[in-house]
Chains A and B, each alone.
Chain A
Amino acid sequence: DAKTTQPTSMDCAEGRAANLPCNHSTISGNEYVYWYRQIHSQGPQYIIHGLKNNETNEMASLIITEDRKSSTLILPHATLRDTAVYYCIVRPEGTGRRALTFGSGTRLQVQP
């Protein structure tokens, strides 16, 4: 799996967009970018994933740069419930037989 780099922590005002960056400069052509988040004392929750096109679902948007070396998870209108640790994982699809591993992630604090 490609190595990812995320900021340790970020703050965001409630109601504003939260933009969480992830650097994955060694990403290979067949590797996807996955985002999970973990709210305090709960298990991680899948958010979104993408290969090269921008993706959007009911939870967030994922913007992947054209060279695919970095990406940004966007929570368009952050709420206090979005306070969590966000994990960016890069790995090929179809590798579900291998264990999913988590790095340190970004701790997002949404401020009222």
Chain B
Amino acid sequence: KAGVTQTPRYLIKTRGQQVTLSCSPISGHRSVSWYQQTPGQGLQFLFEYFSETQRNKGNFPGRFSGRQFSNSRSEMNVSTLELGDSALYLCASKQGEANYGYTFGSGTRLTVV
């Protein structure tokens, strides 16, 4: 079966711009989580959506937002980009509630210049 698909794979944006990243979960998976990974902070949880509703939220400023569509696809948006937003953004989908059920995509590498 197809895995978690994230687009685009690479992105370069200018400080102050906004960006939208996309995640297509595995078919049948209703939960989508987003993570930010940087060399200094490691993997940090951004938010999770389940059946189009945000179920959990990490400790990130309001510039980071997301949404989930009825087909479970999810997007995350970062407005007013800062240099520190340069990171690998990872999306994970999950079918049930098991802690072992996460399947991650390969991520979108965002560079802010």
Contacts and interface: CB of A to CB of B under 8 A. Distances in A.
Interface in B56-93: 56, 58, 88, 90-92
Nearest to B46: A99
Interface string B91-103: 1101011111111
B25 interface: no
B27 interface: no
A30 interface: no
Of residues A32, A42, A104, which shows the largest number of chain B Cβ atoms within 10 Å of its Cβ?
A42
A94 B56 CA distance: 15
Interface in A47-80: 49
A99 B105 contact: no
By secondary structure, the A interface counts as: loop
A35 to B, nearest CB: 9
Contacts of B92: 43-44, 100
A46 B88 contact: no
B33 A99 contact: yes
A49 B97 contact: no
Nearest to A95: B99
Contacts of A46: 100-103
A43 B45 contact: no
Interface of B: 4, 31, 33, 42-43, 45, 48, 55-56, 58, 88, 90-92, 94, 96-107, 109
Interface of A: 32, 34, 36, 38, 41-46, 49, 89, 91, 93-104
11 contacts: A38-B43, A43-B105, A45-B104, A46-B101, A49-B99, A49-B100, A91-B99, A93-B98, A96-B94, A97-B56, A103-B42
